[in-house]
Amino acid sequence: MAVTNASGVSLSLNDRMIAGLLSLCIGAFLVFGAGLANSAVLHDTAHDVRHSFGFPCH
Amino acid sequence: MIVKTLLAAICAGLMAGLFMTAAQELRVVPLILQAETFEGEPAPGASPAHEHSSLDSSSLFPSLTSAILPITPAYAHDGETHEGGGILFGMGRFSGTLIANLVTGAGFGLLLGGLGILTGSPPSLRTGLTWGALGWLAVHMLPALGLPPELPGFPAADLSERQTWWLVTTALSALGLGLIALRPGVVAKGAGSVLLALPHLYGAPQPADIASPVPAVLGAEFAVAALATTLAFWLVLGSVSGAINDRFLKTA
């Protein structure tokens, strides 16, 4: 019982690490693309959003 | 379980982004449009303001701008001629804002969810508001102390310097707030406070010339509106994340 418990915990811990890091990477990518990327098309599409979220713009 | 977690964060982010679009259209976008009508004018006692984006259908001087500049004005402040401006897929201005809000919302939702999982206390309905408030402090309020939300046409220092300062400040603020909120003990709280203060002691990049053609009253209204709407955005994001986590991930 104790063994199954322990393995269950470590597995879910591993899963949590993967889920957490994956979330951070994808999230950072999306925020960077919308808020900071130095591309004219992305800038113009997200222009009002960049200003209202207070991302440095122009 | 991994996919479920990611989907929960994305869902919460999309809802918050949708909410943010409504809030922006009510208060923030009108101020941006109003500021853009002043943008082309020379500031009193200053060199002519830099040109703005190609979204100048609402500007007073679209024809004048395009007559002077054969390239789209987006180039002018971009500084690099790698692609033309214009909105993705030829969408309208509102659609672009909506898409960008959804993407940004999903991005912040994933960042919030990821930090929640890694710190072992993901947002719940009970802690969601606190998570949201801390997110707002780290991403908006604390960086705004050095770089307040700017309207189009405001004087500003070099873009990449400001972006670097903003990124570093956001990261240090998140780390500092995490230490203060999640770690017990005076040492952790002291270290967290130092991290919060560091970027401000270093100082944000400031423009050499602060003359602006945009009226100061608009800037003040805009700064408050931007901070208020982003606060609402983060509170919605935290609460919805918490509600979804409680409802769908408790048993996972």
How far is Cα B190 from Cα B208, in angstroms, rounded to an integer? Answer: 34
Inside any domain, residue B147: no
How far is Cα B49 from Cα B52, in angstroms, rounded to an integer? Answer: 9
B108 CB within 8 Å of a chain A CB:
yes
Inside any domain, residue A14: yes
Report A:1-58 residues touching B (Cβ under 8 A). 12, 15-24, 26-36, 38-58
* Tally of helices (H runs) and strands (E runs) in chain B: 10, 0
Max Cα distance, chain B (Å): 65
Inside any domain, residue B218: no
The pLDDT of residue A13 is 79
| Closest partner CB to A56 (pick from B55, B109, B166) | B166
Inside any domain, residue B205: no
Inside any domain, residue B214: no
Range of the domain at B68: 2-129+239-249
B237 CB within 8 Å of a chain A CB:
no
Assigned token pair, B38: 């002043």
The pLDDT of residue B35 is 92
* Contact list, A24 vs chain B (CB under 8 Å): 110-111, 114-115, 118
Inside any domain, residue A33: yes
Inside any domain, residue A35: yes
The pLDDT of residue B43 is 58
Q: Are A22 and A7 in contact (CB under 8 A)?
A: no
Inside any domain, residue A57: no
- pLDDT category at A14 given cuts 50, 70, 90 is confident
Inside any domain, residue A26: yes
Q: What is the nearest CA distance from A45 to chain B, expressed in angstroms?
A: 5
The pLDDT of residue A11 is 55
Lowest mean pLDDT among A1-10, A47-56, B78-87: A1-10
Inside any domain, residue A58: no
Inside any domain, residue A30: yes
The pLDDT tens digits of the residues spanning B144-195 come to 999 999 999 889 999 999 999 999 999 999 999 999 999 999 999 999 999 9
Cα of first residue to Cα of last residue in chain A, in angstroms, is: 60
pLDDT averaged over chain A? 82
pLDDT < 70 stretches in chain B: 42-84, 250-252
* Contact list, B162 vs chain A (CB under 8 Å): 56
Nearest to B149 by CA among B91, B194, B214: B214
| Closest partner CB to B85 (pick from A22, A35, A44) | A44
Inside any domain, residue B182: no
Name, in order, each residue with C-beta under 8 angstroms of B249's C-beta and a sequence gap of 6 or more: B4, B5, B8, B122
Q: Are B124 and B242 in contact (CB under 8 A)?
A: yes
How far is Cα B107 from Cα B179, in angstroms, rounded to an integer? Answer: 23
Cα of first residue to Cα of last residue in chain B, in angstroms, is: 6
Inside any domain, residue B80: yes
Assigned token pair, B77: 């402040």
Inside any domain, residue B117: yes
**CA separation, residue B249 to residues B10, B46, B252 (Å):** 14, 57, 5
The pLDDT of residue B73 is 42
Number of domains observed in the structure of chain A: 1
Number of domains observed in the structure of chain B: 1
- The 3 state secondary structure assigned to B130-191 is HHHHHHHHHHHHHHHHHCCCCCCCCCCCCHHHHHHHHHHHHHHHHHHHHHHHHCCCHHHHHH
- pLDDT category at A38 given cuts 50, 70, 90 is confident
**Dihedral in degrees, nearest 10, Cα atoms B23, B216, B143, A43:** 60
Range of the domain at A48: 2-52
